[in-house]
Each structure stands twice: as structure tokens, then as C-alpha cells.
Structure 1
Amino acid sequence: MTALETLHLIPTVFQPFRNVTAAESTRHGGVSPLPFASLNVGLNTADAPENVQENRRRFFASLAIDPEQVVSSHQVHQDRILKVTEPGRFEGYDALITNRPDHFLTVTVADCTPILIYDAGQKAVAAIHAGWRGTVARIVEKTVAAMQEQFGTQPADCYAYVGTCIDLCSFEVGNEVADQFDKAYKQFDPAQQKFRIDLKAANVAQLAKAGLPMGQIGISPYSTVLHNLDFYSYRAGNGTTGRMLAVIGIRSAE
């Protein structure tokens, strides 16, 4: 048993807003056997579909979310953004935005960075999947810009959470990846002759560049690799592992 023996974590940055439901799942409290143990919510894994569906049911139930109100996309590590007008599963988007209540946006991760945004002024939300490709493509900045265009969002009114992902000390990459990152977000390891990338810092910087106050940005203290007993890591699992969900939505007044 570990210290995080819970189905989900609630980002503290959103806790003052009672109308906002936001969370990220852990790997605890599900029904999947090894190597997916136990709360694997990834639809595109080799786990038994009935296990995944039960895990997803448990996760959403723990947050009092109706699965019929959930929005997801098959993510492709690019920078396409979908303005959501109805629940369902879509194809080819790595960021979802909406100003509709009772639409709960989700992204799936297992090392990539989940970013959740709440616009307290215009009552809109975003869920973003940012691996290294999405980070290089500046998907976070583009999502904030899309919220400004679609909803009239003012970045100063926004609160954001940069979720659990692979950490700097674990994310070794070759020059072909490192060359695409600013020097502020990479460190060279002379022993390994490789660079290490800080995805959290790179995405926090994009939020700040987009205009969000640093005091309104929460950052997960956890790592998918260093805390692999609590979170799934694609890298630590050599490609065979479960997935977590990050979710955000605004509840209707009633």
C-alpha cells in the first residue's frame, strides 16, 4: 500500500471553485491485473476492455460524473484543438475547450503532461495533452489563444494545473529531440551523453507567456517514473502499461 492509495487527486488550484470538477487519476482502486494494475483507464491498451470500462466507471463515479457527459479524443501528439459542443469521443485532437456546463473534458496520459485550465471570468475550461511534440508545437499557448478567440477569455482570469508526468531526471532524449527545446528546459548529462527535458517547466512557461499569473498555476509534485507505484509510466513500463485520465468540467447551477 502506498501513500496515494486513492483513485484520484484533486488539484488544489481549483479547490476554491465549487462549480469546477477537476482531477487526475492514479493507478489505484481498479480491477486490472498486471502489468496494468490496477486503475487502467486507457481505451487503447492491451488490457481487457471490460476491465478498462469498469475502471473508468469507478473513476467517474468517484467524482460524481455521468459518463454520458464525458468528452475525449484519440490523441495524436499534434496541436489540433477542438471546441466541444457535445459529449462523445473524437479523433485527432490533443486539446479540448468548452464553455458548456456539464461537459467534462478528458486527456489520457502515461508520461506526457496533462494541463487543465479554468477561465473563471467567462466560465470556460480546457484539457490539454502535451508530450514533447505537443510542447514543442506550443499547444498550451495555442489553446489559451483559442479560448480567447472562442470565449473572450482573459488570461488573467485563468487558473491552470500542470499535472503528473515524466520528470526532468527521468526524461532522457537524443539530440534530435533536445535541439527543439530552449536551453532553459534541458540539461546535458555527460555520463549518459544525453539531454534531459523538463516538460513541466516548459509548459508552465507557455502558460505564463500566454498571460496567466504564476500564482494561478498549480504544478503536480509527482512524477510518473519516480512515483511509478502510484502513476503509470510508458517509459518505466517499457511500453506496456496502463493510462491515467485528467478531467475538468463546470457543473451547471442546478
Structure 2
Amino acid sequence: MTVPTLSLAYRPEIFTKFPHLIAAQSLRHGGVSPAPFTSLNLGLSSGDERKNVLENRNRFFNNLGFQPEDIALSYQVHDDKVLVATQPGNYEGYDAIVTNSPGVFVGVSIADCTPILIYDSSSNAVAAIHAGWKGTMKQIVSKTLQTMTQHFGTNPVNCFAYIGTCISECAFEVDADVADYFTSDYKRWDSEKNKFFVDLKQANFSQLLKAGIPKEQVEVSPFCTVEHNDNYFSYRKEGKKSGRMFVVIGQRTNR
């Protein structure tokens, strides 16, 4: 499977049956940022020039069909807090955002951590989740679905989900201080490298299924930010000068 090298975004197939829905994960192409942020860097805290990032955001959001002022974003802290957004804006301290308001788009920023998008086809609620190893360990996916149930009456059986491109198991090597938080289902020991390897995609996939989302209603990206670094940013591979990607989801107002 290949990603078109000049695309600004990948649009998950799992959501294409819902024409009123906009959902996407950005790629690294089509922006104005010079090396080392080449080129569609969307992260204001990455060290890139602000004017470049704002232009990149304009290009990305306009390409999807909405404006930067239509999105709710948060400064993420690798925790398990979930924001219920009723209007767009910039927030702080949340790693998941949910809404059921048409015209309000929710998104998270990633560079290796696992992005998850959820759509409730019954209530039209949506969620964007940033799940690093800490958020995964703290069950942020499960807590997001619980929040959707509490506020929107969500039944997971009606939900569709996308686990986006992140660092894959083959590249996510960690020491015991991280690996100890995960069961053997989601990690393996490599005796040659003397490291553990953790599978964040599988760990979050299991949370979605345990919450009640049918397996056939979940799409998992086959790509890896490290292995497919030509299309995706990777903090693990590129270091502090890595750009940032967005995953976003929301309902059009002109349904």
C-alpha cells in the first residue's frame, strides 16, 4: 500500500460512507516549511517559524473544507483528560477532545504517538485522541468513549474508529520502565538489542474492542512514522527538529 507523495492528507476509508463527515490525518507534503521541518509542519511548538506553521495550517484545513478558526485543539500533556468542546478554540491539558456540534472540528497533534478518531453514527458525536504510551497505559481511549456515553448517549456498537499512523511496534524500542506498564500481549523482548518493543496500535485497538466497537468498524493504518518517514514526521527518528502532524474530525454544517 502506498500513499500519494504529494497529498496533504490521508482520509480514512472507514469514514467515507458518511459524506457529512470530514476526517483526515495530515502528511508532511505540500507545505512551506524549509528543512528540517519539510514541509507541511503543523506544530507551533516545534521550533519552526510561526508564519510557516500558520500558512501550513491554512493549506491543510482549507484542503479539507473548513477554516483554522473552526477547530478545537489542546496543548497536550500525555495524560488521560478528555475535553467536551462546544465551540472551537485553543485549550490546555487535554489529550482527547469530543464534540457533537456540527461545524466544530476536533483535532490532536502527533509526531509518533498514536492518533485515534472515533465517530458515533447514532449521535453524530466525534472524538480525536492523542495516545502516547502514557495515555495508552492510562486507558485514554476507554475514558474517551465513557465521556461520549455520558454526554451524548454513545453506544460503542454504533461507533467507527481509525487508528492512525504512529510509531509501529518494530520501531518503538523501550526499556523496562515503560514496558512494565504493558502486558505480554503488547510487547516483546529483543535479546539482541536488549530492549523491549511495544505495540501501541494493538494496545489501543484492544481498548476499542473491549469498549464494544465491532472489529469490522475499526481501521488501522499500516504505516509507521519511522519506517515511512518520507511521508510522516517522526520525533523518534528526526529528534527535536521534527515537524508535527494533525488528525482531525468533525461534521460539515451543510449536510
TM-score between both structures, scaled by the size of structure 2:
0.98
Q: Secondary structure at the match of 1:96?
A: strand
Q: Write the deviation string for residues 42-98 of structure 1: whole angstroms up to 9, x where unpaired.
A: 011110000000000000011011222111000000000000011100000000001
Q: Write the deviation string for residues 179-202 of structure 1: whole angstroms up to 9, x where unpaired.
A: 000110001110011100101000
Partner Cα separation in structure 2 for residue 219 and residue 159 of structure 1: 11
Q: Write the deviation string for residues 80-126 of structure 1: whole angstroms up to 9, x where unpaired.
A: 00000111000000000011001010100000000000000011000
Contact 2:46 2:240 in 1 (8 A): no
Name the structure 1 match of 2:46. Answer: 45
Name the structure 1 match of 2:140. Answer: 139
Name the structure 2 match of 1:122. Answer: 123
Partner Cα separation in structure 2 for residue 6 and residue 239 of structure 1: 24
TM-fit CA distance, 1:251: 1.4
Q: Write the deviation string for residues 117-138 of structure 1: whole angstroms up to 9, x where unpaired.
A: 0000011000000000000000
Q: Secondary structure at the match of 2:151?
A: helix
Name the structure 2 match of 1:171. Answer: 172
Q: Secondary structure at the match of 1:117?
A: strand
Name the structure 2 match of 1:201. Answer: 202
Name the structure 1 match of 2:243. Answer: 242
Q: After the TM superposition, which segments of 4 or more aligned residues of structure 1 sit over 6 Å from their partners?
A: none
Contact 2:100 2:124 in 1 (8 A): yes
Q: Write the deviation string for residues 26-45 of structure 1: whole angstroms up to 9, x where unpaired.
A: 00000001110000000111
Judged with a 3 Å threshold, the aligned counterparts in structure 2 of structure 1 residues 98 and 3 are, in CA distance, closer, same or farther, namely closer
Partner Cα separation in structure 1 for residue 69 and residue 136 of structure 2: 30
Partner Cα separation in structure 2 for residue 119 and residue 33 of structure 1: 39
TM-fit CA distance, 1:253: 4.1
Partner Cα separation in structure 2 for residue 200 and residue 41 of structure 1: 23
Name the structure 2 match of 1:6. Answer: 7
Partner Cα separation in structure 1 for residue 114 and residue 66 of structure 2: 23
* Structure 1 residue 85 corresponds to structure 2 residue 86: yes
Number of residue equivalences: 253
Partner Cα separation in structure 2 for residue 59 and residue 252 of structure 1: 19
- The one-letter amino acid paired with 2:252 is R
Name the structure 1 match of 2:234. Answer: 233
Partner Cα separation in structure 2 for residue 239 and residue 190 of structure 1: 29
Partner Cα separation in structure 2 for residue 208 and residue 153 of structure 1: 15
- The one-letter amino acid paired with 2:129 is I
Q: Secondary structure at the match of 1:147?
A: helix
Partner Cα separation in structure 1 for residue 19 and residue 88 of structure 2: 22
Q: Write the deviation string for residues 196-237 of structure 1: whole angstroms up to 9, x where unpaired.
A: 010100000000000000000001111000000100000000
Partner Cα separation in structure 1 for residue 253 and residue 210 of structure 2: 31
TM-fit CA distance, 1:4: 2.7
Name the structure 1 match of 2:32. Answer: 31
- The one-letter amino acid paired with 1:242 is G
Name the structure 1 match of 2:215. Answer: 214
Partner Cα separation in structure 2 for residue 148 and residue 190 of structure 1: 43
Partner Cα separation in structure 1 for residue 239 and residue 85 of structure 2: 34
Q: Which moved more, 1:58-67 or 1:111-120?
A: 58-67
Which runs of 5 or more structure 2 residues have no equivalent in the other structure?
A: none
Percent of aligned positions that are identical: 51
Name the structure 2 match of 1:182. Answer: 183
The root-mean-square deviation of aligned C-alpha atoms, in Å, is: 0.9
- The one-letter amino acid paired with 1:129 is H
